[in-house]
Every structure is written in structure tokens, then in C-alpha cells.
């Protein structure tokens, strides 16, 4: 058993905090303060401790330190479901941005789930109510709730990302789905397109509702009826985007009055749609223009290069972390509940004027 109470909870393999203190010529409590809260130690001493820790290869047990001061430094991420490995790498990009921002703020990231079944929901709630985590960011999904317990009542700061929950008082970080799709549709209208095919995500999904509404607003603004756009899909979720695109190509083939432009709610839908359409003998953009949503890097390498609306994932992740850490620190700064980060349309060769 260790004789030094200050290092209680640290792994006993490798250098200890006492070794760092001895090399730096300071007390163990000074090392502890320097690692947990650098601002409480003068710069010269902090540099000595930092140099000693690096020389010894000392890494503090972050979990143990958090428990000693009565506050966890772990932030929980709640995923909407299992990770998706298609072209539209939205969730992995978000995780990367959030993780980077949390580390810079002195916090660690915990992925709480890889599913949203009942067992996973219970696990998420146990983490929240058990004091393991300091706050939570929930991605593109509703709050976990099982047997009357809800994440909302765990007493944790929570930020919603990719789903607007500001109406129920939850700080939310979203992109301008509706406006971005409306502007892309207006670009197609400006090229002369008047008949559209919309590749839809799951019905009543927040993103699909916002994006389709943007299409309708653009049509109305041009004096066109809603019948100018035909919906395809809506039965599968975004993780089956490739299948949605293939089915939509078959739906397109069955239409009598063919649309001249396609608006897809994800890059995966658009990529598989393009492949199937071209195998049917149609050319893009000569016979059919297409634009999609997400901004996957692979779109630039499609044939032809695919026009897409790029979501600002890095900025959204940074904003979500800033909101959460502000709530944890109980900052007096006024916070917006609804935080909109603008997407941008990247125009490539998949859009052109329709045939006469």
C-alpha cells in the first residue's frame, strides 16, 4: 500500500506524482495543483513541474484526480445509434471536432453508446445519475428516457447538436438546413429547371423536414406548385442512404414526366443514385442535374464531381463544446439557446442547364 495519500488512486506502474515532485524540488501538493489547475501555481514553478513530468514520462490518472476534487472531467457523447461508415462521415467528423475542443479545455471524451436500445439507454442514464460524467452532448436524437428517468433530470449541463431542441430549453447547435437547401434549389431554378426529384430521408426526421421545406419554399418563390417536386424514399433511415439512392433511380425510371434535377438529402443517396442512373444510359449533368447535402470529401472525386452542401462540422463541434463548458463553469455570459452555423454550397460539374 502506498505511503503517500496524495497519489491515492494512481496506477502504481510507471513514475508517480511523488517522483515528479522530487525531481522538480517541490511538494507533492504543488504538483497536484499544477496538474489540476495550472493557474494556481506561478509560471516558473509550473514549468519546472511540466519539465519533470515530461522527463519522467509521467501521466496523471485523470479519472482519479477528478474524483479527488469531487468533479469528473469527463464529457459524455450520446450517439443517435451505431456509427455509420458510408461516404457521409458526419458523426465521425463531429466526434473529432468535439474531442479536439474538449482536450483543449482540459476535459476527456467518453462515447456512451453504440446503440439506442433499452440497455444502452439505461447505461447512459446510469453514467449521468452516477456522477461519472460532468456534462453531455447529445447528437441528432432525443434525450434518453427509461422508466421515468430522463437525461434532462440528471442535473447535468446538456447541449444538443444536429437537432434543434431549443424549444424545450436545451442549448442547440444546428446548421441552416432549410435555408441551404432553398438556396441550392434556387440555383437549379436559375439554371432553368422546373421539375425535381427529391431523395428523402426518414419521414418526420428533423433534417428531412427542414430540407424538404426549403425545397417547397423555393418552388413557391418561383411561382411553382408543390407538384413540381416528386418525393422518393422516406422509408429507410440515413444509414441506408446507398439503398435509398438505388431505389430512387428505379423510381425515376418509372416516371412518365421526367424531372430534370435531383436534390438528395445526403451524399450517399446522391452517389448511389448517380451510379444507377448512369448505368441506365443517362448522362449527368446533360440529362439530369444533381445536388446533395453533407459535403463529403469523396464528392469531389465522383464522376462527374458532385455538387454538395457542406456542413461546418468543425465549427459546430467547437460551438457545442464552448456552450457546454460555459454551462459547467456557470458563466454569466448570456447564452443563445438556438445556435445556427451556416453551411455552404459547393458547385461542381453535376449541375447544368436542362436540355431544351
pLDDT at 85: 65
All three cell numbers of 326, joined, read 460555459
Q: What CATH number has the domain spanning 5-68?
A: 1.10.260.40
**Whether residue 69 has pLDDT greater than 60:** no
Q: Give the CA angle between residues 86, 237, 298 to the nearest 5°.
A: 25
Q: Give the tens place of pLDDT for each residue, 288-332.
A: 999 999 999 999 999 999 999 999 999 999 999 999 999 998 876
The residue ranking higher by pLDDT, 12 or 102, is: 102
Q: What is the CATH number of domain 74-175+314-341?
A: 3.40.50.2300
Report pLDDT for 6: 40
Distances in whole angstroms, Cα of residue 356 to Cα of each of 223, 263, 291? 20, 20, 20
- Tens digit of each residue's pLDDT (9 = 90 or more) over 252-270: 999 999 999 999 999 999 9
Report residue 335 as a C-alpha cell.
447564452
61: confidence class by pLDDT, cuts 50, 70, 90: low
pLDDT recorded at residue 234: 79
Instruction: Give residue for cell 453551411.
Output: 343
User: Would you state the pLDDT for residue 236?
Assistant: 67
The CATH code of the domain at 177-311 is 3.40.50.2300
Arithmetic mean of pLDDT, 57-64: 58
Q: What is the pLDDT of residue 59?
A: 62
Mean per-residue pLDDT for 213-225? 98
pLDDT per position as a tens digit, 121-161: 999 999 998 888 999 999 999 999 998 889 999 999 999 99
Range 165-191 average pLDDT: 97
Find the angle CA(122)-CA(123)-CA(128) to the nearest 5 degrees.
95
Percent of the chain at pLDDT exceeding 90: 67
pLDDT tier at 176 (50, 70, 90 boundaries)? very high
Q: Give yes or no for a contact between 263 and 185, defined as CB atoms under 8 angstroms apart.
A: yes
CA distance 335 to 173: 12
* DSSP β-bridge partners for residue 293: 309
Show the cell assigned to 233: 424514399
| Mean pLDDT, rounded, of the chain | 88
Q: Which residues of 88-114 are buried (b: 16+ CB within 10 A; e: fewer)?
A: bbbbebbbebbbebbeeeebbbeebbe
Question: Which of 2-16, 24-38, 182-196, 232-246 has the highest average model confidence (pLDDT)?
Answer: 182-196
Task: Please give the average per-residue pLDDT across 197-221, as a whole number.
Answer: 94
Predicted pLDDT at 175:
97
pLDDT at 37 over 70: no
Query: Taking a C-beta distance cutoff of 8 angstroms, is the pair 279, 307 a contact?
Result: no
Got the DSSP string for 88-109? --HHHHHHHHHHHHHHHTT-EE
Cα–Cα distance measured from residue 95 to residue 57, given in angstroms and rounded to the nearest whole number:
28
Cα 307 to Cα 18, 76, 85, 191, 246, distances in angstroms: 58, 35, 21, 14, 19
User: What pLDDT, on a 0 to 100 scale, did the predictor assign at position 164?
Assistant: 96
Q: Which residue has the cell 430549453?
A: 169
Across 4-8, 64-68, 116-120, 232-236, least confident range: 4-8
* Bridge partner residues of 174 (DSSP): 340
| pLDDT, tens digit (0-9, with 9 covering 90-100), for 7-21 | 333 434 456 778 888
Q: CATH 1.10.260.40 spans which residues of the chain?
A: 5-68
The residue-averaged pLDDT of 347-356 equals 94
What pTM was estimated for this model as a whole? 0.78
Q: Which residue has the cell 508517480?
A: 16
- Tell me where in the chain the CATH 3.40.50.2300 domain(s) lie: 74-175+314-341, 177-311
Amino acid at each position: 500500500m502506498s505511503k503517500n495519500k496524495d497519489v491515492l488512486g494512481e496506477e502504481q506502474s510507471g513514475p508517480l506524482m511523488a517522483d515528479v515532485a522530487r525531481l522538480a524540488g517541490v511538494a507533492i501538493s504543488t504538483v497536484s495543483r499544477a496538474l489540476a489547475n495550472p493557474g494556481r501555481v506561478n509560471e516558473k514553478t509550473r514549468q519546472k513541474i511540466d519539465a519533470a513530468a515530461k522527463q519522467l514520462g509521467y501521466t496523471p490518472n485523470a479519472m482519479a484526480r477528478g474524483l479527488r476534487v469531487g468533479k469528473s472531467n469527463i464529457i459524455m457523447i450520446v450517439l443517435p445509434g451505431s456509427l455509420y461508415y458510408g461516404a457521409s462521415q458526419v458523426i465521425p467528423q463531429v466526434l473529432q471536432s468535439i474531442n479536439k475542443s474538449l482536450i483543449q479545455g482540459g476535459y476527456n471524451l467518453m462515447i456512451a453508446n453504440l446503440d439506442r436500445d433499452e440497455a444502452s439507454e439505461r447505461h447512459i442514464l446510469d453514467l449521468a445519475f452516477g456522477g461519472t460524467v460532468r456534462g453531455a452532448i447529445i447528437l441528432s436524437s432525443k434525450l434518453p428516457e427509461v422508466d421515468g428517468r430522463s437525461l434532462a433530470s440528471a442535473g447535468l449541463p446538456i447541449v444538443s447538436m444536429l437537432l434543434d431542441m431549443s424549444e424545450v430549453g436545451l442549448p442547440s447547435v444546428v446548421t441552416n438546413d432549410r435555408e441551404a437547401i432553398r438556396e441550392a434549389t434556387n440555383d437549379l431554378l436559375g439554371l432553368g429547371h422546373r421539375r425535381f426529384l427529391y431523395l428523402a430521408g426518414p419521414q418526420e426526421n428533423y433534417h428531412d423536414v427542414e430540407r424538404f421545406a426549403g425545397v417547397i419554399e423555393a418552388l413557391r418563390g418561383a411561382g411553382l406548385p408543390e407538384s413540381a417536386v416528386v418525393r422518393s424514399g422516406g422509408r429507410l433511415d440515413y444509414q441506408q442512404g446507398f439503398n435509398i439512392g438505388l431505389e430512387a433511380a428505379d423510381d425515376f425510371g418509372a416516371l412518365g414526366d421526367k424531372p430534370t434535377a435531383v436534390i438528395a438529402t445526403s451524399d450517399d443517396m446522391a452517389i448511389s443514385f448517380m451510379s444507377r442512373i448512369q448505368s441506365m444510359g443517362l448522362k449527368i449533368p446533360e440529362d439530369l442535374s444533381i445536388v446533395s447535402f453533407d459535403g463529403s470529401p469523396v464528392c469531389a472525386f465522383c464522376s462527374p464531381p458532385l455538387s454538395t452542401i457542406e456542413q461546418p462540422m468543425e465549427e459546430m463541434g467547437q460551438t457545442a463544446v464552448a456552450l457546454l463548458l460555459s454551462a459547467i463553469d456557470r458563466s454569466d455570459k448570456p447564452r443563445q439557446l438556438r445556435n445556427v452555423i451556416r453551411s455552404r454550397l459547393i458547385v461542381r460539374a453535376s449541375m447544368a442547364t436542362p436540355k431544351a
